[in-house]
Structure 1
């Protein structure tokens, strides 16, 4: 069984800094107000290191990468 990661955004905690979109532009876009929008929540294997870095860089801990069995 392999494990994938699924990105989640806590929209209440997010203050729109935009670091997630800067560090992970393949999966995160910003809306017209500067808040993140996920194109696809599942993180491909080749982007998992970038996703972990984006999660760690979020100043308000609003971005999470949850492990999900696949």
Structure 2
């Protein structure tokens, strides 16, 4: 997903099981909260981190990360 208008990231906190793989792929964008659930640190995501966030979303074992173009908002 390549966008010129920016990339928005959302974590489904109900689906997230705290595997933390998103932190492996995009530690600048994700962190874990006190409930061991992923949270988004940067929204929208800067262009240089799009590939990392796409990898994080693609490798989430429970598909809890949703990406969308800001232009589509």
Partner of 2:54: 52
TM-score of the superposed pair, with normalisation by structure 2 = 0.83
Structure 1 Cα separation of the partners of residues 10 and 22 of structure 2 = 11
Q: Could you say which structure has the higher strand fraction?
A: 1
**What residue ranges of structure 1 are gaps of 5+ in the alignment?**
none
CA RMSD of aligned residues (A): 1.5
Structure 1 Cα separation of the partners of residues 42 and 31 of structure 2 = 10
Partner of 1:18: 20
Moved over 2 A (4+): none
Q: Helix, strand or coil: the match of 1:32?
A: coil
TM-score of the superposed pair, with normalisation by structure 1 = 0.86
Partner of 1:31: 33
